[in-house]
Structure 1
Amino acid sequence: MSYSTDLHTQSNSHQQQWVLASNNKGKLAEFKKLFRDANLNVTIIPQGQLDIDDAIEDGLSFVENAIIKARHASRASGLPAIADDSGLCVPVLGNAPGIYSARYAGEHGNDSKNNAKLIADLQPIRAAKPDASIKGMFVCVLAMVRHADDPLPIIAQGLWHGEILAAPHGDGGFGYDPLFWLPELQASAASLSAEDKNRISHRGQAIQQLLAQLPL
């Protein structure tokens, strides 16, 4: 049986369970909402609920790390798994923080410290060109594996372009959302409603790409 036929048969026969290779509450909420809106016959289970430790993310790209995490979660659970590797890339910083976005300040998942470090790292650039906007983009790569040794992972990517603020704005979202400014909306990612963010964000784009590749 082919990969696509097997996935099609299983996804239509009963409610599927997929492991999400993340324990990030913000990501989990976004995934559940987006999958629910897509009427996908899938229940998303965070890996922590199954006592699965985090994978060692030793890849050099978002794609590599997403696949590493998906295979790790699938091998530990025996279930299909989906992994998100995402972050913020700022070209004037050599695309940092990039794959190290969650631990940019040295402590994994400390949003306030990561944001503070980004602001500090950009201060000399702002001082040299005070009127220039600083471009940035959120990147999300999703990898879905049917099983741990799946030779054909489904890969989807979303890019969300904006500008980096000198100070936080908005009290929603997570990660670097308070520093990510959308000129066309005159709003930061942290000031958007969950519905608006899911519609246009890097993660929303990647999930739509993923859904389009599933044989459902």
Structure 2
Amino acid sequence: MTVRLVLATHNAHKVEEFQHILGASAPELEIVAYDGAEPVEDGVTFAENALIKARAAAAHTGLPALADDSGICVDVMGGAPGIFSARWAGRHGDAAANRRLLLDQLSDLGDGKRRAHFTATIALVLPSGEETVVEGVWPGELATAESGEHGFGYDPIFVPDGHDVTAAELDPAVKNAESHRARAFEKLVPAVRALANRR
């Protein structure tokens, strides 16, 4: 029996990525896009913002809702851009400008000083009010220039540990298996499977 979950995003890339990752471990799940208004993300942590979005989507649709808040965290910058990753250059969603600004800010730093990690925090909120929050971290370092056509956001400038290419140069199947979201989903699978078993 198919279990539908709404993903609290208007980003088609994320819907597709979530379906690929979740479908591999729980094929009975169907991820559907959220068509409601975007809530104000005024949390100060990834977890707070993920819960704000998931609660809004669950209330709007009456379906179990997933939401993630994710970003890139640079060690030498004290974890920034962090929750401001999507609007680092000043305008929300301008990924190319965000990447350029971050590379400019780190342009004087050599190898070993460009450590960074992607963080993904995923919230699952049920219409009953039950909530589950998990986190996944993908360590690596920042490249000195963009490279690669796959992925989105900061993928073209992030080189994951264990690879000598950017996340945007990895085969999408490899990225989906190793990414911060994949690591968070691995922790979320028991809660999702429990949800499927209730149906």
User: Whole-Å Cα distance in 2 between the matches of residues 131 and 94 of structure 1?
Assistant: 18
Provide the rounded CA distance (Å) in 2 between the counterparts of 1:85 and 1:78: 21
Shift of 1:75: 0.9
- Segments ≥4 residues shifted beyond 6 Å: none
91, 94, 97: which one pairs with 2:78? 94
Counterpart position of 2:141: 163
Give deviations 1:84-130, integer Å, cap 9, x for gaps.
11000001112111001111111111110010010111124x2xxx3
| The one of 29, 32, 38 aligned to 2:16 | 29
Deviation at 1:45, TM superposition (A): 1.0
Corresponding position of 1:11: none
Counterpart residue number, 1:136: 116
Alpha-carbon shift at residue 183 of structure 1 (Å): 4.6
Q: Percent identity?
A: 38
Match of 2:150 among 163, 167, 172: 172
Q: Is the 8 A contact 1:87 1:100 kept in 2?
A: yes
Match of 2:126 among 138, 146, 153: 146
> What SS does the corresponding residue of 1:175 show, helix, strand or coil?
coil
Larger-gyration structure (1/2): 1
What 5-or-longer segments of structure 2 have no aligned partner?
A: none
Is residue 151–residue 167 contact of structure 2 (8 Å, CA) maintained in 1? yes
Give the direction of change, closer, same or farther, for the CA distance of 1:132–1:43 in structure 2 (3 Å limit): closer
Q: Distance in 1 between matches of 2:171 and 2:37?
A: 31
Equivalent pairs counted in the alignment come to 194
Q: Which runs of 5+ in 1 are unaligned?
A: 1-13
Letter in 2 for 1:175: G
1:62 aligns with 46
